[in-house]
Structure 1
Amino acid sequence: MSDHHNSSASQETEPRKDVSDDHLPGERRSGELAVLDDPFADPGLPPHEHRRQDIDERAAKRSERTVALLFTVSMLATIGFIVAYLAIPIDEIVYIFPIGHISALNFALGTTLGVALFCIGAGAIHWARTLMSDEERVEERHAVAATPEVKSHVLAEFRKGAEESQIGRRKLVRNTMIGALALVPLSGLVLLRDLGPMPGDKLRKTAWREGSLIVNENTGQPLRPEDITVGSLTQAMPSDLDHHDEDFHAQIAKAAVMLVRLEPEDIKDPRSAAWGHEGILCFSKICTHVGCPATLYEQQTHHALCPCHQSTFDLSDGARVLFGPAGHPLPQLKITVNDEGFLTALGDFEEPPGPSFWERG
């Protein structure tokens, strides 16, 4: 029994010998590791199959006419876009099933522009799939810096590609494509009209006129000098503006002002003092950075702060900029008192109020 077990143990612990030195095809020995020579062989490209258009000129002509038709439809759609933009009233509403009631102008513009762009894309795709060369080639990667030989090869390939695209031979396709690509940008050019007329001098003029009463922006009541106390800030506007006017918001955005009263000896700028009345100064409250109301007033320092980007203006020194991104002082309005004792303007601002713009000096 003991000998039998010893014999079995010796058989199990003895290193197993290979029955044969044969191994898998394409496998080589490297110590204890077997490695496949080429586990992912390149299968190569399948044989090239010619399209019908390659062997039948009549089929090629039909494809050429199809591409030309798509480009022609694109041109007609672009012309339709321009006609619709000029002819359809902006407030006309139509019923389109199943969308419902929509703007006739928006529907016409969207439809015609969509057709114009789609036909250019569809024409280019059909051209590439049926008339241009579809033979596949394999090119090895090369260094980024091209050699003269490579450059000449690229130029030769470019010329060959141009020849294979048949752009010179298929004049109908070429001419209609050029027409479609030349016309479709007109859609964007026409839309520039919606940017409105040029502002002219509108940015430089506000609702302030000589003799305009200065009224409290909240109550609409005319202001007297005694209504403005030292250390206070009052927001005001010209009496010519009416909250019910259609362009009220456009006008108040330029004409809104703030009144502060300082002790005459605290006013550092003589010109600013001369434009005021008994220490009452009137400045545009529209920040010269991006147009926020700069009406956070600190009476001890006479500083006005814009809460949007912290531009700070010294109202005792002509509202010059002390801090922040604003590029110009707040424009000051010349004021006086009329015969009835109300504060009035002596004219408009001498420089445009609000943010800087391209024509501002």
Structure 2
Amino acid sequence: MGDHSHGSPQESGTVAKAQDGSLDKIQDPGLPPHRARLTDTDPRAAKRAERQVAILFAISMIGTVLFFVGYFAVGHPESIAEIRLQNMLLGVGTAFAMLGIGVGIVHWARTLMPDHEIAESRHEVRTEEDRQDAEAIINTIVDESGINRRPLIRNTLIGALALAPLPGVFILRDLDLTKESAGQIVDRLRHTMWDKGVRLTRDPSGTPIKASDVQIGSAFHVIPDGLNDTEDPLNEKAKAVVLLMRLDPEDLSVSPEREDWHYNGIVAYSKICTHVGCPVALYEQHTHHLLCPCHQSTFDLTQECKVIFGPAAHALPQLPITVDDEGFLVAQSDFHEPVGPGYWERG
């Protein structure tokens, strides 16, 4: 092992040992010499940096415009391609809106704002003098930033900062979290395409399902008959899609009011997780558990899909089903409760 006791006095940072064994204070070396940047000495370089900062702020504004193009121009996507286009425009637009401002301010500080170090002694706080000192500091910051001398940077920054919050305002507006709008959302989610006599069909083909087609351990992704012919099939599907499974009737623990909601162990539950609305798409045949892949909420199929693990707060809504005269599975009614995540109070 090496000996670490022979470092230089400067390495201690506070004291040094003299030859006679006494401790001497190290003299403050002061601030390092300031190294001038190219923009400090070359007006053309400073002007070029100013244009670069303005371009970055302009990129932020373009990003906000891209967000609104995706938000309004592709406001009601009707195909997977349109959904992908909208998501790309919203994501890229928001990223450029935030990134343009952040990178622009950093580049502005690194190339144009003063970069010399300042050491000041601490003074006693005095009310009037403190106010004057604070005012002087603010004026110094404004002067050193050069914002008054650089209208191109100032104007583009104002434009970028004015536009950047707007996407967030529109996104928050769409959450519909007021008491009145929450009631409207619950009402919309309470009613789906399911109704008495509507056949259960395979997703996405729309082929009707007979009870004899459903074997113990099997699982079907199901949509209402006629969904593909509606004007807005994606939104209707988002509310009405269900999972259909068959268990041994003896494995089902059924409450009295739901005794006739299944048919010979065939049960149907909403596919939309009650946490944040992800599709519950994983079925464990041996445990009879349904799993949401987003946050691992787990529902017990044998106990009316109550939550046994994860952040979901409500059981999956059950669709009452039976069979028609031809043996096809049909709904007895719509869901008896709103489907989807439980952000609001469910009636």
The TM-score range, normalised by the shorter chain, is: 0.5 to 0.7
What does 1:133-144 correspond to in 2, within 5 Å? 136-139=118-121
CA spacing shift, 1:235–1:165, aligned 2, 3 Å? closer
Displacement of 1:296 after TM fit?
1.8
Q: What SS does the aligned partner of 1:157 have?
A: helix
Q: Relative to 1, partners in 2 of residues 1:191 and 1:320: Cα closer, same or farther, differing over 3 Å?
A: closer
Deviation at 1:42, TM superposition (A): 4.0
Give the aligned partner of residue 159 of structure 2: 183
Alignment of 1:209-224 (within 5 A): 209-216=195-202, 221-224=207-210
- 1:34-73 matches, within 5 Å, as 41-42=27-28
Task: Pick the aligned partner of 1:160 from 100, 113, 136.
Answer: 136
Tell me the residue number matched to 2:280. 292
Distance 1:184 1:255, change over 3 A: same
Contact 2:60 2:96 (C-alpha < 8 Å) held by counterparts? no
Whether the 8 Å CA contact 1:73–1:116 is kept in 2: the answer is: no
Distance 1:123 1:171, change over 3 A: closer
Q: Report which of the two structures shows the higher radius of gyration computed on alpha carbons.
A: 1
| Superposed displacement of residue 255, structure 1 | 0.4
Residue of structure 1 equivalent to 2:305: 319
CA distance in 2, matches of 1:182, 1:136: 29
Whichever residue aligns with residue 183 of structure 1, its letter is: G
Q: Is the 8 A contact 2:274 2:339 kept in 1?
A: yes
RMSD: 5.9
Counterpart CA distance in 2 for 1:268 and 1:215 is: 25
Measure the CA separation in 1 of the matches of 2:33 and 2:251: 97
Q: 1:285 and 1:106 mapped to 2: Cα distance?
A: 27
Q: Is the 8 A contact 1:77 1:115 kept in 2?
A: yes
Residue 41 (structure 2) aligns with: none
Letter in 2 for 1:189: P
CA contact (8 A) 1:68 1:172 kept: no
What residue is the counterpart of 1:97 in the other structure? none
Counterpart pick for 1:333 among 301, 319, 330: 319
**2:343 aligned with 1:358, yes or no?**
yes
CA shift digits 1:35-72 (9 cap, x unpaired): 6856x544557999xxxxxxxxxxxxxxxx99999998
Is structure 2 residue 190 aligned with structure 1 residue 208? no
Secondary structure of the equivalent of 1:215? strand
Using the size of structure 1 for normalisation, the TM-score is: 0.53
After superposition, give the CA deviation of every residue in 1:239-269 in whole Å (9 maximum; x if it has no partner).
3356xx9966993785032233554896531
Whole-Å Cα distance in 2 between the matches of residues 162 and 87 of structure 1? Answer: 39
Following the alignment from structure 1 to structure 2, what is the Cα–Cα distance between the partners of residues 67 and 127?
7
User: Is the CA contact (8 Å cut-off) linking 2:273 and 2:312 kept in structure 1?
Assistant: yes
SS at match of 1:281: strand
8 Å Cα contact 2:94/2:167 also seen in 1: no
**In structure 2, C-alpha distance between the alignment counterparts of 1:185 and 1:203, rounded to whole Å:** 37
> How far apart in 2 are the matches of 1:79 and 1:297?
52
Further displaced range: 262-271 or 332-341: 262-271
8 A Cα contact 2:217 2:246, kept in partner:
yes
Tell whether the 8 Å contact from 2:211 to 2:328 is kept in structure 1 after alignment: yes
Q: Structure 1 residues 203 and 185 mapped into 2: Cα distance closer, same or farther (>3 Å)?
A: farther
CA displacement at 1:325 relative to structure 2: 4.1
Report % sequence identity: 22
Q: Aligned partners of 1:262, 1:208: CA distance in 2, in Å? A: 25
Please state whether the residue corresponding to 1:184 is helix, strand or coil.
helix
Corresponding residue of 1:283: 269
SS of residue in 1 equivalent to 2:162: helix
Structure 2: 5+ residue stretches without partners: 1-16, 35-46, 75-87, 176-183
Deviations 1:93-135 (A, max 9, x none): xxxxxxxxxx9999999999877767656666777439xxx79
Is 2:241–2:270's contact at 8 Å kept on the other side of the alignment? yes
Q: Contact 1:332 / 1:349 at 8 angstroms: preserved in 2?
A: yes
Listed as ranges, the gaps of 5+ residues in structure 1 are 1-26, 49-64, 92-102, 141-146
Residue matched to 2:4: none
1:120-164 deviations in whole A, cap 9, x for unaligned?
56666777439xxx7944437xxxxxx9x3465755532332344
Alignment of 1:13-28 (within 5 A): none
CA separation of 1:323 and 1:120: change in aligned 2, threshold 3 A: closer
- Alignment partners' CA distance in 1, 2:64 and 2:311: 43
Secondary structure, aligned partner of 1:358: coil
Letter in structure 2 aligned against 1:214: L
* Offset of residue 330 of structure 1: 2.0
